Structure 1
Amino acid sequence: MGLRNFFDRIEPSFEKGGKWEKWFPIYEMVESFLYTPKTVTTVAPHARSYIDMKRIMTYVVIATIPCILMALYNTGYQSNLAIAEYGASGWRAAIIETLGIGFDASNPLANMAHGALYFLPIYIVTLVAGGIFEVIFATIRKHEVNEGFLVSSMLYTLILPATTPLWQVALGIIFGVVIGKEVFGGTGKNFLNPALVGRAFLYFAYPAQMSGDNVWVPVDGFTGATALAVTASDGMQALAAQGFTWWDSFLGFIPGSLGETSTLAALIGLCFLLFTKIANYRMVVGCLAGMIGFSLLLNFIGSDSNPMFAMPWYWHLVVGGYAFGLVFMVTEPVSGSHTNAGRYIYGILIGFMVVMIRVLNPAFPEGMMLAILFGNVFAPLIDYFVVQANIKRRAKRNV
């Protein structure tokens, strides 16, 4: 008997009055993860789509798996490298020592285990704190809790530094869920990315814990600037002296937020999202064009006082959160533009803005988070002008 037939035969047991009725939510979640559910959306904006919301969210979570694995490995790798110089302390070190795993940075198991001890607490707190408010709003509005929060929680976790205090983790995701999504009506109605809203809240409310040099490697006594901070202060020639290479940055073996360091992992996720048609290539092309074009212009102009003018586009691609934001947040369909021409413009705007913030605004050496939120705000306006231009063009044809 096939798995599909098995689900069909046991479904009556979960119906009202059936002996397994109370377990229906779990049954529904498992079935909809494997198969398209029998109930489909009949109203906008998904009435013409062959794929349901559950499958879209599931695909996005699957696409983050390479970044999750790299988050575990690189967080442990950076920590073990620092421990070799500064020593180990805290409850995580006690667990590693008790298990006999050790702190050898050349041992993949030691790196993965150590990284998991940072990643899992942040993710669990995110799920619990954000999930409580998701359930509260779902109960008040009498609708089901959908997979939108599963995606937001994962993205939010991956863009946080490993040193983020757990109470700040909870505060940020609550702010992102409530202010970034639920006050606008919930999943599909938000005009800002909820994960970025929560991250931005923490960035401005607690800058010492979010943007200091010591937040990227969670070892007491360690201090070290990111590649962007090094370039902004000492220029491109200082990157090699600090141990930064382009290949390490591309692969993800550099300090940074949990899941943002590996451009390769993000690109693997992008290939999956493009293949499944979850991500729209126009946004990706636009964002790359805006970043490459503006960085080339700044390289040509040059500056004697600002070393960031000399950073080439292929370095912008691999440092900071550019690649992760490009793959998982620029392509996010709800908060981005919805017209084909608008998607190109939307992507170009974000690519332009991230370079401008990184190069011309020394207060924010990263830039991608603010650039995407800026693009989210202007996405409806971009679509409005694209639609109006189409109306005028068609009207002229019929004169």
Structure 2
Amino acid sequence: MQKPKFLKQKPMQKVMIALIPMILTAVYYFGLRVLAVLIICAVFAFLTEWIMASRRNGKVTQACFVTALLYGLALPPTVPYWVAATGIIVGILFGKEAFGGFGKNVFNPAIVGRAFVWICFPVELTARFVPVFSGFPGGFTSWSMSSTAVGPAFTETPGLDAITASTPMFAAQTYGYMTDLTSLFTGHIAGIIPVDGHNFVLGAGSMGEVSALAILMGAAYLLYHKAAQLRLMLSPIIGAVAMTVFMKYILGLSSVPDPMFVLLSGGLIYAAVFMVTEPVSAPKTPRTQWIYGIFIGVMIILLRYEGIFTGAVAFSILLGNMLAPSLDLWMKKIKAARAKP
């Protein structure tokens, strides 16, 4: 078994730099355990790709670390370490290496891993949402916020006899409670909300999706350094907002949240900036990229409304990945037909 070489990739380095605001924000809100989860993901991503690359005489790419960070940040802060490790192994192995390695994969490997653990381990991923730290220094001096001991501000609340954890998206769909937009934008998602005689703790979902502000900082860096396509960022947002407006204001479906709530909750912006823009699994021409992104945005809203998974982002992107090659082929046929005399 030949020792594989290491391939440095400047675009991947830029993506990792763009993720720094989200990593720091996640540590501030959830504690130092965030770093442990990300390190575990990075180690197992590297080992999986190293083993496979050594067998095909290929190179270990820096893209495996980008995949590990994107996947890890899409997990809840209380995710068990073994679940995090299992998902990234599946993502690298079946999302990339099964197709021959970097540049040949049809699916986004981070999304493959995320969807796998979401389906296989739903209890481990959804049973322990926690509120965020606040004030200075936040989570930088704490390991994590316990899911059972959520702090004096919560445990000392008079009359609190039952606690259920809920994300803003789940709270909106289940209880009709709308988290204020400022909290969604900054990431300060915490509190005890009484609904119909039942109290629930409002907690954040995934570590990297908690703050739209941090995600937009990363987006600005990517666009400034030309490391991502603006149309791939905008198109899923346009598709999601347009579908929300259609369903809520034209079809009159009152259960569909307002467009701004849809935009700032459930990982839509995170997916648009870092997942949909993944260059290998996306279409290659400007027109097909617009169609691809809008399709993903529309599917996110449809699956949220009708599906059992409140986020629906991962499955929408996987559907888009399956559509992408056909979009490029269709566009080539259209151009060839127009070029004929």
Give the TM-score normalised by the residue count of structure 1: 0.71
Residues 104 and 280 in structure 2, CA contact (< 8 A), matched pair in contact too: yes
Per-residue Cα deviation, 1:77-134 (whole angstroms, up to 9, x for no partner)? xxxxxxxxxxxxxxxxxxxxxxxxxxxxxxxxxxxxxx11x11221222122222111
For the residues of structure 2 that align with 1:248 and 1:276, how far apart are their CA atoms? 29
Residues 191 and 334 in structure 1, CA contact (< 8 A), matched pair in contact too: yes
Residues 236 and 272 in structure 2, CA contact (< 8 A), matched pair in contact too: yes
Aligned AA for 2:73?
L
**Residue 233 of structure 1 aligns with which residue?**
174
Where do residues 1-399 of structure 1 align in structure 2 (5 Å cutoff)? 54-75=9-30, 115-116=31-32, 118-212=33-127, 214-217=128-131, 218-221=145-148, 223-235=164-176, 238-239=177-178, 244-254=179-189, 255-302=204-251, 307-309=254-256, 311-361=257-307, 363-395=308-340, 399=341
Give the TM-score normalised by the residue count of structure 2: 0.83
CA drift of 1:246 comes to: 0.3
Residues 172 and 202 in structure 1, CA contact (< 8 A), matched pair in contact too: yes
CA drift of 1:211 comes to: 2.8
* CA shift in 2, pair 1:220/1:282, >3 Å: closer
**Structure with the greater alpha carbon radius of gyration:** 1
CA drift of 1:168 comes to: 1.2
CA drift of 1:307 comes to: 4.7
Per-residue Cα deviation, 1:125-149 (whole angstroms, up to 9, x for no partner)? 2122222111111211222211110
Residues 45 and 65 in structure 2, CA contact (< 8 A), matched pair in contact too: no
Aligned AA for 1:325?
A
Aligned residues: 297
Where structure 2 has 5 or more consecutive residues not aligned to the other structure, the ranges are 132-144, 151-163, 190-203
CA RMSD of aligned residues (A): 1.9
Higher RCO, 1 or 2 (CA under 8 Å, sep at least 6)?
2
* Structure whose residues are more often strand by fraction: 2
For the residues of structure 2 that align with 1:308 and 1:147, how far apart are their CA atoms? 43
CA drift of 1:215 comes to: 3.2
Per-residue Cα deviation, 1:251-301 (whole angstroms, up to 9, x for no partner)? 111212111111111111111111222211121222122111110011113
Where do 4+ consecutive residues of structure 1 move more than 3 Å? Answer: 215-218
* Structure whose residues are more often helix by fraction: 1
Where structure 1 has 5 or more consecutive residues not aligned to the other structure, the ranges are 1-24, 33-53, 76-114
